[in-house]
Amino acid sequence: MSKEYKIKCKVPNKSALDAMFRRLPSPIHRSPLAETYNYKVESDGFYFIDRLVDPKTASVALRVFIDAALLANKTIEISEL
C-alpha cells in the first residue's frame, strides 16, 4: 500500500536540487527495515511515493519537495495519483 503524488513544476536548477537532496531525511526506516518514501525527478516536476511506513518522515520529505518547487516557481500543481 502506498500514496503517490505528482508535483508539476519547472524543475529547480542543479544547485537548488543539490540543496534539496541534502535536506531530505533518510528514506530507510530501521525497524522494520523498509523504504519510507521514494521519488523521481521528471522533466515536468517531481514524482513522490509515500510507502505508508513512517508518516512523519515521509511528510517531511514531501514538504522538502514542495518547498523546492515553490522556490523555483510562482505556482505549482500537486495531485494525488
For residue 79, give Cα distances in angstroms to 4, 15, 36. 9, 26, 20
- pLDDT tens track for 32-79: 899 999 999 999 999 999 999 999 999 999 999 999 999 999 999 999
Domain that holds residue 45: 3-80
| pTM, full prediction | 0.93
Number of domains in the chain: 1
Q: Residue with C-alpha cell 500500500? A: 1
Distance CA 43, CA 54 (A): 28
- pLDDT tens track for 5-22: 999 999 999 999 999 999
Q: Residue with C-alpha cell 503524488? A: 5
